[in-house]
Structure 1
Amino acid sequence: MVALNKLQKAPPFPVEQALKRLGENLRTARMRRNLTIEEAAEKIGTGIRAVADAEKGKPSTGIVVYSALLWLYDLLEPVGSLADPLKDVEGLSHEASKSPQRVRKSGGLDNDF
C-alpha cells in the first residue's frame, strides 16, 4: 500500500470542507438520478469503494474519480471555463503589478550623453 502524503492525511481546513461538500453534492446527484453506487462505479469504470470514498469527500480519492462522477452526472463544465486564466482576477492583478516597467522614454534614444 502506498503511504499517504501529509496533504492527504490532513489537508487545510477549507480544502477538507470543500471536498466534503463536493462529496455530498455528488451523492445527491447520484440519488436524484436513481443510480446505485454499483451502477455509478460501473459506468465510470471503477470500483464501488472509489465512488463511496468520493462521496465521503476523502482527499486520498483521485481527482479522476471526482471528475468522472461529475461527467457522469453531466455536471462537468467545459475545460475552458474551469481554469480560464482571464477570469483569474487576483492572478491578473498580481501579474500586472510585477510586470517590468518601461525604462526608456517612448521617443527612443536621444544621443545626449
Structure 2
Amino acid sequence: MPTVYITAPPESATELAEMLVDERLAACVNRLSTTSTYRWDGDVHRDEEAILLAKTTDDASDELVARVRAEHPYDVPCIECFDEIDVLESFAAWRAESVE
C-alpha cells in the first residue's frame, strides 16, 4: 500500500487533503509546512509550501493521483508514490477499511 507525497501551496493544501479523505481516496493525509527552493523557467525560486502525505491503497492510488492532478493549482505538481516495505498490520487494515 502506498503513501503519496504531494507538495502544494498552503492555501490549496487543506482543500486537497479534505477532498482526498472525503472521497475515500485516502484514509488520512498529514500536512507539514516547509520552504521549497527550486528551479522554474530558468530561475531559482523559494516559496512556502505544504507537504501532504496521503495514506492510500494500491487500488485507490491511481484515482488519488488523477484527482490531485485535476485539482492542483500547479502546472507540474509534485506527486510521488512510495510503496511500503513494512507497515504495522493494524494500521494497514484501518487504512484499507477507511479507503473502501
Instruction: Give the alignment's TM-score, normalised by structure 1.
Output: 0.25
Greater C-alpha radius of gyration:
1
TM-score (norm 2): 0.27
Q: Which has the higher helix share?
A: 1
For CA contacts below 8 A with separation 6 or more, give which structure has more relative contact order: 2
